[in-house]
Chains A and B, each alone.
Chain A
Amino acid sequence: MTALRTEGADYDDLFRNLYPSLYRYLQRMTGDADAAEDIAQEAFVRLLGRSMPEEEARVWLFTVATNLFRDRARTAKRRERILTAMPWLPNALPGPEEELERTRRVAGVRKALDQIPERDRQMLLMREEGFRYEEIARVTDVAPGSVGTLLARATRRLLAVYDKHLEDG
Chain B
Amino acid sequence: MKHLDEGVLQQVVDGELAAGARAEVDGHLASCSRCQAEFAELRGQNARASALLGMLEDAPVLATAHAEFTRRRFSGRRGPRVEVRQVLLKAAVLVLTVTGVAVAAAPGSPVREWISETVLPQRAVVATEMEPEPPLEVEEARAPTGVFILPEAGRVRVVLSAPNADLEVHTRLTTDSRAEVYASGEAAGARFRTSPGRIEVMGAGPGELHVALPLGATHAYVEVNGTVYVAKDGDRLRVLAPHATGTPAAPVFRVGG
CA distance A113 to B72 in the complex (A): 31
Q: Is the CB of B195 within 8 A of A88?
A: yes
Q: Is B50 an interface residue (CB 8 A)?
A: yes
In the complex formed, the residue of A with least CB distance to B194 is: A88
Q: A19-B60, A148-B6, A159-B48 are in contact. Are A90 and B14 (CB under 8 A)?
A: no
In-complex Cβ contact of A24 among B16, B50, B58 (8 A): B58
Interface residue tally for chain B (C-beta within 8 Å): 40
For the complex formed, measure the closest distance between the CB of A36 and the CB atoms of chain B, giving whole angstroms. Answer: 8
Q: Is the CB of A45 within 8 A of B73?
A: yes
In-complex Cβ contact of A89 among B6, B59, B73, B195 (8 A): B195
Q: A102-B196, A148-B10 are in contact. Are A155 and B56 (CB under 8 A)?
A: no
Interface residues of A in 8-23 (CB under 8 A from B): 12, 15-16, 19-20, 23
Q: Is the CB of A33 within 8 A of B193?
A: yes
Q: A88-B193, A106-B55 are in contact. Are A152 and B9 (CB under 8 A)?
A: yes
Interface residue tally for chain A (C-beta within 8 Å): 50
Q: Is B117 an interface residue (CB 8 A)?
A: no
Chain B positions within 8 Å of A, measured between CB atoms, are 5-11, 14, 16, 42, 45-46, 48-50, 52-53, 55-60, 62, 65-66, 68-69, 72-73, 152-153, 155, 193-198, 200
Chain A positions within 8 Å of B, measured between CB atoms, are 12, 15-16, 19-20, 23-24, 27-28, 33, 37, 40-41, 44-45, 48, 87-91, 96, 98-99, 102, 105-106, 109-110, 112-113, 124-125, 127-128, 132-133, 145-149, 151-153, 155-156, 158-159, 162
Give 20 CB contacts A-B under 8 Å: A23-B60, A24-B58, A27-B56, A28-B53, A28-B56, A41-B72, A45-B69, A45-B73, A98-B153, A106-B55, A106-B56, A125-B53, A148-B8, A148-B9, A148-B10, A149-B10, A152-B10, A152-B42, A158-B52, A162-B52
